[in-house]
A and B are shown apart, each in its own frame.
Chain A
């Protein structure tokens, strides 16, 4: 079997294991959902129904998704280091499948959060979407990028002392290009911007995902074995 397929097969075993543990503990998902719902309700009560500016609503959506992701996605590696299971995993698995498995897990968690939060956001802020397909593409590609960059950052943060507080600080500059593109694409999709503008932003998101995953695969071995 060729190497990437073997990585994927082993990565899927890690993804299944993490999902099984998450299903039993609900630690990561609870942290993300609680943060997202609290922020969403606060935003909704403060400005719901009064804001028609798509610049602000698009930014608010991504602020909620960004900080929700920061609240829980680091857990995937932090838990392995804190409980001592990282040593068992290092002895059994190559670094690349570990990264792939953790990436798939973070993608699953963040997409399932998005499925819950985005419809609520639309409903509570009474939004109308001019370009629904572009909106969905922006949210999905943006979430994939958030999960991808967060995964390698989580691996770095797990080795540090001040784990949870470091995650947001480290992630912000790395995720800034993604957030700009995601906000821009969401704004255009909400307000019916030009199709060409949305396409450029979506392409940016697409390539960000590719670069984030490729760079993570290259760097991860050094982070994991440090």
Chain B
């Protein structure tokens, strides 16, 4: 069945300042879209519009799973987001954060599952520490656990390797490759090494 993201004539302007105009593209299943552009070009805004977090000035984004266009409520189950502006709860531990988001998403949750997910993102043994005690790299890793918790079909990444060490970059590489097999990756970056993931690239001026 058809799984894809279709962007139709998307435009965004803040008052008189136009970020982008009439963007149209199709992101097929099992592919990676890399969004490029200088600082302030609107990469993050573009990703936020795809996720339904920011309204577009005009145009639309259709997320199609099994041939059906998803409603705003259905999109939440199919989208995972990692972005610098997203934070998890510092006063909760990593396990508590995952337990909370599983509860909100009405997912079955077990501590064992949380431990496995945390081990996968390189946070083994740190699951009961409060997030406010985490380093910036560890916070970036827990964001991946949050984004992958519900096994989304579409993974949206903004500056995917920011604050990560070498092992963290390797983790992101694994995640992107696995996600490409399972669905779609949309990422905004200016790192030359990450552009190579793109099956298609799109540049915002």
Contact = CB atoms under 8 A, between A and B. Distances in A.
Interface string B23-41: 0000000000000000000
Interface stretch (B13-21, B81-89, B121-129): B81-89
Interface in A1-54: 6, 9-10, 13-14, 16-17, 20-21, 24-25
Q: Tell me the interface secondary structure of chain A in the complex.
A: helix
A16 B100 CA distance: 9
Interface stretch (B102-110, B160-168, B175-183, B189-197): B102-110
Contact of A90 (B53, B92, B96, B100): B53
Nearest to B107: A92
A91 B103 CA distance: 13
A86 to B, nearest CB: 9
B103 A21 contact: no
Nearest to B75: A91
Interface residues of A, number: 24
B153 to A, nearest CB: 14
B132 to A, nearest CB: 10
Contact of A88 (B79, B88, B96): B88
A222 to B, nearest CB: 10
B106 A88 contact: no
Among the interface residues A16, A88, A97, A225, which one has the most CB atoms of the partner chain B within 10 A? A88
B100 to A, nearest CB: 5
Contact of B91 (A13, A21, A87, A93): A21
B85 A84 contact: yes
Interface in B20-66: 51-53, 55
B104 A10 contact: yes
Contacts of B51: 91
B151 to A, nearest CB: 14
A85 to B, nearest CB: 5
Interface string B87-121: 11111100010001101111000000000000000
A9 to B, nearest CB: 7
B105 A92 contact: yes
Nearest to A221: B72
Contacts of A16: 100, 103
Nearest to B96: A20
Contact of B76 (A83, A85, A92): A92
Contact of A85 (B81, B83, B88, B103): B88
A128 interface: no
10 contacts: A10-B103, A17-B100, A21-B89, A84-B85, A85-B88, A88-B88, A89-B104, A90-B53, A91-B53, A91-B86
A-B pairs with the 8 shortest C-beta distances?
A13-B103, A84-B87, A87-B86, A93-B104, A21-B91, A17-B100, A92-B104, A13-B104
Interface of A: 6, 9-10, 13-14, 16-17, 20-21, 24-25, 83-85, 87-94, 97, 225
Given A84-B87, A90-B53, A91-B80, 8 more contacts: A13-B100, A13-B103, A17-B89, A17-B92, A21-B92, A85-B89, A93-B104, A94-B73
